[in-house]
Amino acid sequence: MIPQTFEYTAPKTLDEALELLAEGAKPLSGGMSLIPMMKLRLAAPDHLVDLGRLKDLNYIREDGGSLHIGATVTHQEVAASALVRAKCPLLAQTAAGVGDPQVRNRGTIGGSVAHADPSADYPAALQALEAKFVLKGAKSERTVAAADFFLDTFLTALEPGEIVREVILPVEDAGTGTYYEKVVQKASGFAVVGIAVRIKKGWARVGVTGLSNHAYRALAVEKALQGGADVQHAAAMVAEGVDANSDLHASAEYRTHLAVVHTARAILAAMSRMA
């Protein structure tokens, strides 16, 4: 199908882009989610502002004990980055499993985070990593924790005119084991359920995608693991307090079952990677 007619601007600077966004234009990054939605007429923006060519949003660097990833870094760049692989292996592993090579070469971390698809992979890892997002508008900049960012299906804490400028991640301790485990929708690569785990002695973080209307931290699982519960017992709590999604890929009951089974697998795999 053919999208509705729209204006397209490729600004040379971030300030220019933010001015246009403040006037109501819509950001375009990799176009992997937005363009299909426009073709299906589920989205019909009048004006697209292409962030993908802005060099000052394309970086991966370590600074002050954290990793900083600019919004237009592609999934492939995250997966291939020696720095991310060494300092934040959970994110590199997650990025390597997104979609297919075409999607990974075009899609961006900022676009994925902003789109907030309830079956997207990054949000599980970003919840487990307690990531922070730098959100920038024409006259503002603020930092929001992942726990406060993903609000509902395709709904985030972004205000009109704001973009995700940067993702901030912790540098992983040497002793921490991490793993991302997903049940793949075979047609797309999206997660029917996806479980991201970081674990070390007496401490655990667990992020979940696909099960609910947005990615979340499975606090009950974390607490059980930290209290010394066995893996199966802890994993059984992954859907606590959550309304499970039901769609053509999996009923709520089956999805919950998958989440429990794959949470246990993810925990065991992360444990096996502890130094």
Ligand X SMILES: Cc1cc2nc3c(=O)[nH]c(=O)nc-3n(C[C@H](O)[C@H](O)[C@H](O)COP(=O)(O)OP(=O)(O)OC[C@H]3O[C@@H](n4cnc5c(N)ncnc54)[C@H](O)[C@@H]3O)c2cc1C
Q: Which residues bind ligand X (CB under 6 A)?
A: 26-34, 36, 51, 71, 98-99, 103, 107-108, 110-112, 114-115, 117, 120-122, 158, 163-164, 188-190
In 3D space, the residue among 124, 74, 70, 80 whose CA is nearest the CA of residue 103 turns out to be: 74
- Closer to ligand X at the Cβ: 65 or 100? 100
- Closer to ligand X at the Cβ: 11 or 27? 27
- Closer to ligand X at the Cβ: 237 or 258? 258
Shortest gap between Cβ of 159 and ligand X (angstroms)? 10
Shortest gap between Cβ of 215 and ligand X (angstroms)? 10
In 3D space, the residue among 17, 264, 5 whose CA is nearest the CA of residue 163 turns out to be: 17
Shortest gap between Cβ of 158 and ligand X (angstroms)? 6
In 3D space, the residue among 106, 124, 110 whose CA is nearest the CA of residue 36 turns out to be: 106
The helix/strand/coil state of 13 is coil
- Closer to ligand X at the Cβ: 183 or 234? 183
Residue 272 burial by CB count (10 A; 0-12/13-18/19+): exposed, middle or buried? Answer: exposed
Shortest gap between Cβ of 231 and ligand X (angstroms)? 26
d(CA 268, CA 251): 26
- Is residue 27 within 8 Å of 114, Cβ to Cβ? yes
